């Protein structure tokens, strides 16, 4: 990926959050622009939230249920719509259908002027609400987050280009030092770089399937005579060598804890811990669970939850 002279930033656009969600609460950044010029992959924070040749920023939803409810995609910067495509089905790629030539799925290209363009990909089928030739302002609704084209999960892929060359809004000059990601940004309200974290967690009465978590399906709450007592966590950005710790405490001195080391990186991951229900059932009262993700011995993400068995 070529570096560009700093003078091109004189006319660079300022971008706002392109999805109507709150990072770290109901959405997160799954992938950044790949800034490694070779066959490897490296994001703006010198982490692993990207893959070889990735040309944009992926703003991901936590569940498919959110996509079905409808989450708005909004214009990150003002400009003129120069291309649109709609009618591509959501989930085609994961179901094995061909998307060659239409990897962006349902998308929009907006010309910002001065050689700059933004491209919005993977919008929900039938949701695009702007037409070619229309002028849009920053914040104008464009459609809904979807899973069309080459998308493994519901998200918006936002690409920024200058004279056809991809520019990373988190590190527009493609510097070689990780500090550049913190000191330079085209975002009007810069987001902190978050390489890993927990997205959701909770208690349930039986070992859950990851597909159910990703779909946003309701899980049975723990109960006195349920099959088991389970505490689960769902996160992103796992790296080899990380450790994941679970702890459950409850009435009558109940204590369940585990720590395991990760042997391979994972873009998204799911873990749970628990025990089968004892013959006389679980004691009634409050239960607390905590999960921690550690890297190089330090806790980088922690989440907790409580439940009550009546």
CATH number for the domain spanning 249: value is 2.70.50.60
On whether both 103 and 13 belong to a single domain, the answer is yes
Residues of the chain with pLDDT under 70: 1-8, 175-183
Range of the domain at 264: 197-309
Position 33 in a domain: yes
Question: What pLDDT was estimated at residue 28?
Answer: 97
Query: CA end-to-end span of the chain, whole Å?
Result: 59
Domain end: 149, 183, 217, which one?
183
Give the Cα-Cα-Cα angle 305, 153, 233 (nearest 5 degrees).
20
Residues 13-46 as b/e (b if ≥16 CB within 10 A, e otherwise) read bebebbbbbeeeebbbbbbbbbbeeeeebbbbbb
Question: What pLDDT was estimated at residue 180?
Answer: 46
Position 1 in a domain: no
Position 258 in a domain: yes
On whether both 126 and 178 belong to a single domain, the answer is yes
Question: What pLDDT was estimated at residue 3?
Answer: 43
Question: What pLDDT was estimated at residue 191?
Answer: 84
Question: What pLDDT was estimated at residue 139?
Answer: 97
On whether both 222 and 152 belong to a single domain, the answer is no
On whether both 86 and 203 belong to a single domain, the answer is no
On whether both 129 and 215 belong to a single domain, the answer is no
CATH number reported for the structural domain that contains residue 121 in this entry: 2.70.70.10
On whether both 29 and 136 belong to a single domain, the answer is yes
Cα separation, 237 vs 198, in Å, equals 9
| Nearest Cα residue to 157 out of 76, 78, 94 | 76
Instruction: Report how many domains make up the chain.
Output: 2
On whether both 284 and 231 belong to a single domain, the answer is yes
On whether both 201 and 140 belong to a single domain, the answer is no
On whether both 27 and 147 belong to a single domain, the answer is yes
On whether both 201 and 161 belong to a single domain, the answer is no
On whether the CB atoms of residues 147 and 104 are closer than 8 A, the answer is no
Position 189 in a domain: no
Its pTM stands at 0.93
Position 301 in a domain: yes
Question: What pLDDT was estimated at residue 183?
Answer: 56
pLDDT single digits (tens) 228-241: 999 999 999 999 99
């Amino acid at each position: 990926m070529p570096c560009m002279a700093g003078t091109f930033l004189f006319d660079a656009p300022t971008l706002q959050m392109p999805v109507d969600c709150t990072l770290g609460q109901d959405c997160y950044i799954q992938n950044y622009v790949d800034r490694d010029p070779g066959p490897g992959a490296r994001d703006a924070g010198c982490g692993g939230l990207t893959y070889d040749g990735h040309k944009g920023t992926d703003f991901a939803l936590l569940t498919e249920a959110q996509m079905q409810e409808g989450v708005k995609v909004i214009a990150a910067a003002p400009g003129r719509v120069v291309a649109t495509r709609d009618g591509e089905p959501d989930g085609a790629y994961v179901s094995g259908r061909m998307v060659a030539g239409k990897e962006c799925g349902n998308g929009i290209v907006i010309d910002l002027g001065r050689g700059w363009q933004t491209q919005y990909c993977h919008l929900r089928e039938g949701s695009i609400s702007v037409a070619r030739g229309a002028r849009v302002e920053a914040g104008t609704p464009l459609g809904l987050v979807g899973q069309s084209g080459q998308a493994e999960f519901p998200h918006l892929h936002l690409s920024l280009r200058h004279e056809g060359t991809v520019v990373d809004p988190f590190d527009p000059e493609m510097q070689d030092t990780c500090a550049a990601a913190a000191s330079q940004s085209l975002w009007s309200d810069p987001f902190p770089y978050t390489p890993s974290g927990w997205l959701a967690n909770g208690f349930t009465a039986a070992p859950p399937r990851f597909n159910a978590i990703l779909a946003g399906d309701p899980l049975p709450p723990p109960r006195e005579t349920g099959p088991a007592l389970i505490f689960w966590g769902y996160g992103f950005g796992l790296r080899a060598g990380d450790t994941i710790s679970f702890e459950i405490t409850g009435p009558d001195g109940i204590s369940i804890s585990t720590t395991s080391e990760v042997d391979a990186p994972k873009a998204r991951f799911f873990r749970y811990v628990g025990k089968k229900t004892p013959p006389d059932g679980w004691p009634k009262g409050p239960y607390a669970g905590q999960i921690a993700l550690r890297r190089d011995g330090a806790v980088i993400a922690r989440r907790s939850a409580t439940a009550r068995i009546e």
